[in-house]
Amino acid sequence: MLSLAFLVAAAVVLVRDTKDSIRERVEAAMRVTVQLLDTVIVSSAMNPSLGPTHYVLQDFLRSLGYVRSSHIELYDYANNPLYISPDSTFKTEINPPSWFVKLVGPKEETVTRRVRYGVLTIRSSAEGSIREAWSGFLQLMMMGVGFFLLLNLLIYGLLSHALRPVRHILHAINRIEQGDLTTRLARFSVPEFDKIGLSLNQMALSLDAERQLEQNRQLTQLIQQHIEDERRSLARELHDELGQYVTAIKTFAVAIVNKTKQNTPDIAANAQTIVAAANHIYDGMHNIIRQLRPAAMDNMGLVETLRDMVSGYQAQHPDLTIQLHVSGACAPMGENVNINVYRMVQEAVNNAIKHAHAQSINVHLLNDAEGLRLMICDDGVGMQLDLVDQTRHFGLLGMRERVQALHGQFKVVSQPEISRGTTLEIRLPLQSAPNNRE
């Protein structure tokens, strides 16, 4: 476009200069011709012996022949032509277009001299100059167009050669779009393309790592679901099978106590010991069942199950203050979300009791338009997050994996140098619910 604009601008300047040049040339030639013929007329008038002026002019014009940029006509008193100058023979093979003639052609000038027995007419004529100008203009324009085409072909060839790596880059991008994350680009000699290739390779590595991480998360979630299924099945077996046997043992032991407490008190005391042991086994079994699978989850939902868990911890640790705060209407979010939230609260409370030496633990559960928000706060000793490798603390790692598997956000806030305590912030989007089993 720049070359074409330069070519058009050069053509405009050339046409303008050509017009001025032709006008000056024609005017100069016209003045010289008029002065020359005026001199002949004056000389003829001052020398009558030469004959009538029109005959003298006729002989002079015939001997003069063609005069450039001037067209001369001589007529007698009866308006009969005595002399008409011949047309220009300069580059007659060239026929300039009418638009060029209109652009560069000067205004025609006519000079008339009346002589004795005749009329002399001199008219400016720029035909030869216009043909000459058109010839030069055409040559320059052909050279300009040729240079324009050559320049564009050269630029196209250079750009095609320089941009050859773009095809490899686009091919690699298409393969990555189709899922082939093993695609890698070689090094390029052009620094800019080399940077693009390195960035694309790094992006492919990151996408591959992210895909593997997502697959691992899905596998972890599947494993956790199977673990929960096994826990549910084991809790059911313990409740149904072992519970019945423990109840039967207790029933038989009570019957023995009732039959032998008067006649054989030793046997009754032993039977009573069996009853106490059965009660202890029954209570321990229920504690194990509660750890394996909270029974309230299937019957009363997440909130009531959390209340039951908090009450259990409070009963086991009367010196602690453990509270549950629920805000908003907790809509059903599916079994998978419920059990994961329960396990995260369970893990966080256990950590606060065992490791943080907390005296107060607050569990906040908020359900709003953005999703589910869970906060577990304690007033324990806290921890230096910069010094803690969270990947080696399986409690934090397990909670983080659970949250990421549900496409949520997990954050640990602890500043022991400012204030004691640790806060776990968990956000789960509403989109987590439809993908979970009911």
Half-sphere exposure of 362 (CA within 13 A, CB side): 11
Q: What are phi and psi of 211, to 5 degrees?
A: -65, -45
Closest alpha carbon to 56 in 68, 74, 70: 74
The CATH number of the domain holding residue 355 is 3.30.565.10
Burial class (CB within 10 angstroms; exposed 0-12, middle 13-18, buried 19+) of 252: middle
| Residue at 177 is within a domain | yes
Q: Are residues 399 and 349 in the same domain?
A: yes
- Res 332: pLDDT: 62
* Angle between the N-to-C axes of helices 127-162 and 164-177, in degrees from 0 to 180, rounded to the nearest 10: 50
Q: Are residues 152 and 174 in the same domain?
A: no
| Residue at 424 is within a domain | yes
| Residue at 251 is within a domain | no
Distance CA 381, CA 233 (A): 38
Intra-chain end-to-end CA distance of the chain, in Å: 66
The answer to whether the CB of 102 falls within 8 A of the CB of 14 is no
Domain range enclosing 28: 2-158
Q: What are phi and psi of 239, to 5 degrees?
A: -70, -45
Hey, how many other C-beta atoms are within 10 angstroms of the C-beta on 124? 19
- Res 436: pLDDT: 44
Successive 10-residue mean pLDDT values, the chain, 438 residues: 86 90 90 90 84 84 84 88 84 86 89 87 88 88 89 88 83 85 82 86 84 77 77 76 82 87 83 87 79 71 86 87 84 76 88 85 86 88 67 72 84 72 87 47
Q: Are residues 96 and 201 in the same domain?
A: no
Q: Are residues 150 and 8 in the same domain?
A: yes
Domain count, the chain: 3
Across the beta sheet with 118-124, the strand order is 81-84, 70-76, 118-124, 110-115
The answer to whether the CB of 124 falls within 8 A of the CB of 106 is yes
Q: Are residues 89 and 184 in the same domain?
A: no
Q: Are residues 183 and 100 in the same domain?
A: no
The answer to whether the CB of 372 falls within 8 A of the CB of 337 is yes
Q: Are residues 87 and 174 in the same domain?
A: no
| Residue at 141 is within a domain | yes
- Res 407: pLDDT: 82
Distance CA 379, CA 362 (A): 9
The answer to whether the CB of 289 falls within 8 A of the CB of 246 is no
- Res 434: pLDDT: 40
Q: Are residues 192 and 81 in the same domain?
A: no
Q: Are residues 67 and 133 in the same domain?
A: yes
| Residue at 261 is within a domain | no
| Residue at 88 is within a domain | yes
Q: How far is the CA of 62 from the CAs of 51, 90, 100, in angstroms? A: 16, 19, 33
Q: Are residues 130 and 185 in the same domain?
A: no
Q: Which of 158, 187, 202 is where one domain is finished?
A: 158
Q: Which of 136, 158, 180 is where one domain is finished?
A: 158
| Residue at 62 is within a domain | yes
Q: Are residues 128 and 209 in the same domain?
A: no
Q: Are residues 101 and 194 in the same domain?
A: no
